[in-house]
Amino acid sequence: MNSASTKGSSAVSDLVPASGTVHWIGAGLSTGSGLAALCDTADRVLLWHRTEERAEEALEGLRINGRAAPRAYTLAALAAELAPGDVVVSMLPAPEHAGILAACVRENAHFACSSYVSDAVLEHVPMAHKAGLVVLTEAGLDPGIDHLFAHGLVARAREAIGDATPASYGLTSYCGGVPAVPNDFRYRFSWAPAGVLNALRSPARYIDQGTPTTAERPWEATRRHVVDGETFEVYPNRDSVPFVEQYGLPDAWTPRTFVRGTLRLDGWLRAWEPVFEELRTGDDTRIAALAQELAARYPTTDTDRDRVVLAVSLDVRAQDGRTWSGGYLLDLVGDEEDSAMARCVSRTLALGVGHILDGSLPAGLNRAAETADRSEQWLGELARGGVHFTLRVDQ
C-alpha cells in the first residue's frame, strides 16, 4: 500500500463493510452512464445536486429517474444522511474534496473521486485508514485509466527485461478531449473553461533527455506526436516525476523520457495564440472573464460529439541489447447516451466504487488500481462495459 495510506496508523481497524448505499455528488459534464451502472450495482443511489429539482432533471437526462433518489446538496445535509459504510462519490471541484472526506471520516463512510490527490485530502487519509475506510482517488480517465495502462505496460516490460538489468526507458502518457469533428478553435470544452485555462498557467515538470525539466508555460513545450498514424500536438502538465515511483519502475532502469501530458488536435497551438497572449499578461480576474468569453464563443451543443484520445507508451532498452516496447491506445467518440469524456470518467469511477461495495479495495489511499494484477482486472471490466482500447507489444 502507498506509504501515505499508513502514515500515523499503528492501530488499524478492520475494513468497514459497505452498506450498499452510494451518495453521488454533482451531475456535471463528467457524470455519464457510470452512474446508471451504479444503479445496477448498489442497493441504493442518491444523486446530490444544487437543488432537488436539478437533481431530478439530471436523472431524467441520464434516463435513470426512479432508479436513484434526488437530493439538494449541502455538506450538512449530506452528513445528516450518511450511515456507516456508505460510499460518497464527489464529482465537485477538487478543493471541495477535503471537507467532504472529513465528513466521511466523522460518519464512518468511504470516499471516492476522480481527481488527483491534494495535500488537503492527504491530511485526512491516516484517520480514514485507521478507521478502516477506503479513500479512492484518481479513478477517472486522466488520472485513472492512464494509471491502469501504465501499470500494465511496466509489468510486461519488467517481466521481459528484468528488474536488475541495467536499462534506459521512455514513458509517455498523453490524454485529451477534442472535437470529434475538428473546428477552427481545434478544441471542445469537455470540462470547465476556467479549469482548462488555469491548468495552462501552472508549471509542468517532466524528464527530457534524462534531465528533470520544468516548463513555466506548458504550451511553450508543445511538440508534435503521432498516434496510430495521426498527428497531434502534446505538451506536459502538472508534475510527472513522482509517477516514476508510483508506476513501480525498477531502480536499475534510468529514464530517458518520462512525461505525462495533454493531447490536442494538430493546429491547436496556432489557433490558441490569442488565448496564450492573455495567459501571459492577464491576472486572475482577467482569466476568469476570458473563460466566460470562450465558453460563450465556443458553446457545446447537443449535436456535438466529443472524442477522447489516451495514448500511453513505454520503450525499454537494456544494456545487454534487449529491447521491449508497448503501448495502449484508447480512442472513443461520444454518442447519444453520453459523451466520450463522461463515459470514460464515470464508468471508471463507478467500477472503483463497485470494488468498495464488494470489499475488495483496501482501507486507506487508493489511486485507481495500484497493482498490475488489479489494473488488468479493471481494464477487463472497463472493456466489457463499453470502454474499448487496444494494446500493442513489440519485442
pLDDT tens per residue, range 43-80? 999 999 999 999 999 999 999 999 999 999 999 999 99
Confidence of residue 29 (pLDDT cuts 50, 70, 90): confident
Domain ranges in the chain are 21-137, 145-338+371-394
Residue 6 has pLDDT above 80, yes or no: no
Q: Which pLDDT value is given to residue 31?
A: 87
Residue type, 52: E
Q: Which pLDDT value is given to residue 11?
A: 52
Q: Which pLDDT value is given to residue 301?
A: 78
Residue 208 has pLDDT above 60, yes or no: yes
Span 241-259, mean pLDDT?
A: 96
Q: Which pLDDT value is given to residue 32?
A: 87
The set of residues, in sequence order, having a beta carbon less than 8 Å from that of 99 and lying 6+ positions away, is: 75
**C-alpha grid cell, residue 166:** 541495467
Q: Which residues of 168-207 are buried (b: 16+ CB within 10 A; e: fewer)?
A: ebbbbbbbbbbbbebeebbbbbbeebbebbeebeeebbbb
d(CA 339, CA 295): 18
Catalytic residue flag (residue 142): yes
Confidence of residue 327 (pLDDT cuts 50, 70, 90): very high
Report field, pTM of the whole predicted structure over 0.85: yes
Residue matched to cell numbers 433518489: 69
Q: Which pLDDT value is given to residue 10?
A: 44
Q: Which pLDDT value is given to residue 314?
A: 98
Q: Which of 108, 18, 7 is nearest to 352 (CA)?
A: 18
| Residue 275: count of CB within 10 angstroms of its CB | 20
Q: Supply the DSSP string of 152-212, one letter for each residue.
A: HHHHHHHHHH-TTS-EEEEEEEEEEEEESS--TTS---SS-HHHHHHHHTS-EEEEETTEE
Q: Which pLDDT value is given to residue 238?
A: 94
CATH no. for 145-338+371-394 = 3.30.360.10
Residue 24 backbone dihedrals phi, psi, to 5 degrees: -105, 120
Q: Percent of the chain, pLDDT > 70? A: 97
pLDDT in tens, 335-368: 988 899 999 999 999 999 999 999 999 999 999 9
Span 187-203, mean pLDDT?
A: 88
Span 307-319, mean pLDDT?
A: 97
Can you name the residues that pair with 331 across neighbouring β-strands? Answer: 309
Across the chain, mean pLDDT equals 93
Lowest mean pLDDT among 26-30, 124-128, 313-317, 376-380: 26-30
d(CA 353, CA 112): 7
CATH class in words for 21-137: alpha beta
Residue 9 has pLDDT above 70, yes or no: no
d(CA 328, CA 393): 9
Q: Percent of the chain, pLDDT > 90? A: 88
| Residue 10: count of CB within 10 angstroms of its CB | 6
Cis geometry, peptide bond prior to residue 93 (ω within 30 degrees of 0): no
Residue 309 has pLDDT above 90, yes or no: yes
Q: Which pLDDT value is given to residue 388?
A: 94
Residue type, 109: A
Residue 134 has pLDDT above 60, yes or no: yes
Q: Which pLDDT value is given to residue 380?
A: 96
Q: Which pLDDT value is given to residue 4?
A: 40
In the set 86, 142, 146, 338, the catalytic residue is 142
The set of residues, in sequence order, having a beta carbon less than 8 Å from that of 359 and lying 6+ positions away, is: 15, 17, 18
Residue 1 has pLDDT above 90, yes or no: no
